[in-house]
Amino acid sequence: MTDNVWTRWPSREALSRRGVSGARRALGWCGRLFAAGMLLWTTFTGGRLPMWGSVAAAAGVLVCAVAGWAFHRTTLHHRLLPSVCLLAGLLGLALVGHLAGLRIPALVLWCACAVVAMERLPLAAAVPAAGVGLGAYAAVNNDAWLTTLATTVGIALAGYVLRLDAEARGGALRLLAQERAARVAEAESAALAERTRIARDIHDVLAHSLSAQLVHLEAARLLIESGAERDRILERVVAARGMAREGLAETRQALSALRGEMSPLEDFLSELVATADRADVTVSGESKPLPAEASQAVRRVAQEAMTNVRKHAPGAKVSIRLEYAEHQVMLDVRDSGGSPGELTGTGAGYGLLGMRERAELLGGSLEAGPGEEGFVVTLKVPV
């Protein structure tokens, strides 16, 4: 719906004094005080008023001040009828002053009413009100008609210029408020995204470590229930303890990554397969530093894939290939397959699903499924 310029009020930011500099405020108050002083001087000097006339003039000045303040408040709240009534009252007071012989104060009040009407009212009400005030000024002014015409046009233009200036200031204040709100929203969004990333990294580390420990501890429980030899049970317990140590080290590494202190990806993969009997790492392409999210995704997928090999195909040969391309990095983890482990059915199966979601958030992909011999996990992440 198109906004009608004739019925549109100046914005509240424009009608208020917000955003006005201290120097401009001081200049405005100096102008008001000077005008008020001149009005009082011309009203009460010359000895033309009797005592009761001076009292009435003082009361009229007080009424004008109160009405002017009330007009400012009603226009600030966009209340048309009270604003028009107050302005009409001021114009009437100027007419009364003129009839009482106070010609100069009446002329000044008519011109002031025209200016504030053009500055603070919708144009549909401002133009008639300004016309009445300037028409009365022209009717009683004794200057030449050309001078009077130039003065009235200049006063009307001055009021309209003040209106445009106020609207420009109000628009700037609204844009500034919107920019601040956008910055706050952006900061909150960034903080939420960072908290989500931290929670996801810590969850991935703990899920990997605890699930591996669960594999060994559950195997130890089954061995105890089946009456297996002590050495076999002890082997599982020692393996679980080793996984706990690895989990602690990985947690520390994740915290270091959050501080931007990650070790090179090749070193991480080499350490990951160091504890496996039949695993190797191959790196191709020109090594390059990766964004923190991409590097963390590669690390977590490699860990999850190794955990799945221990769980579902213990003793299988594992081949990890890391390939750096121009616009992406690819991680390929393959195992040779083998007999299912004692706890093939354990786990909720959410590990690779979580890794796939992480990859998709980065604009990449993760594929996992049977290969020629065993299981293949392939991660592609843009960099």
218-263 pLDDT per residue, tens: 888 888 888 888 888 888 888 888 778 777 766 776 666 666 656 7
pLDDT top residue among 229 and 32: 229
CA-CA-CA-CA dihedral for 245, 249, 250, 253, to nearest 10: 180
pLDDT above 70: residue 46: no
- Residues β-bridged to residue 319: 280, 334
pLDDT above 80: residue 276: no
Residue-level pLDDT at 323:
92
Residue-level pLDDT at 345:
45
pLDDT above 70: residue 351: no
Residue-level pLDDT at 38:
67
Class of domain 184-382: alpha beta
Burial of 109 (0-12, 13-18, 19+ CB in 10 A): buried
Residue 346's pLDDT band (boundaries 50, 70, 90)?
very low
Residue-level pLDDT at 379:
92
Average pLDDT over residues 51-66: 75
pLDDT above 80: residue 129: yes
How is the chain split into domains, by residue range? 12-142, 184-382
pLDDT, one tens digit per residue, over 73-122 is 898 888 999 999 999 999 988 888 888 777 888 888 888 899 889 988 89
Average pLDDT over residues 134-148: 85
Average pLDDT over residues 135-148: 85
Residue-level pLDDT at 258:
62
pLDDT, one tens digit per residue, over 87-97 is 999 998 888 88
Residue-level pLDDT at 88:
92
pLDDT above 70: residue 377: yes
Average pLDDT over residues 18-24: 68
Q: Which residues contact 164 (CB under 8 A, 6 or more apart)?
A: none
Residue-level pLDDT at 188:
84
**Centroid of chain to Cα 90:** 46
Highest mean pLDDT, choosing among 181-185, 212-216, 288-292, 357-361: 181-185
Residue-level pLDDT at 255:
67
Highest mean pLDDT, choosing among 17-26, 171-180, 206-215, 253-262: 171-180
Residue 331's pLDDT band (boundaries 50, 70, 90)?
very high
Q: Answer for the pair 366, 327: CB distance below 8 angstroms, yes or no.
A: no
| Poorest-pLDDT segment among 44-48, 57-61, 182-186 | 44-48
Burial of 78 (0-12, 13-18, 19+ CB in 10 A): middle
Mean pLDDT of the chain: 80
DSSP 99-134: HTT-HHHHHHHHHHHHHHHHHHS-HHHHHHHHHHHH
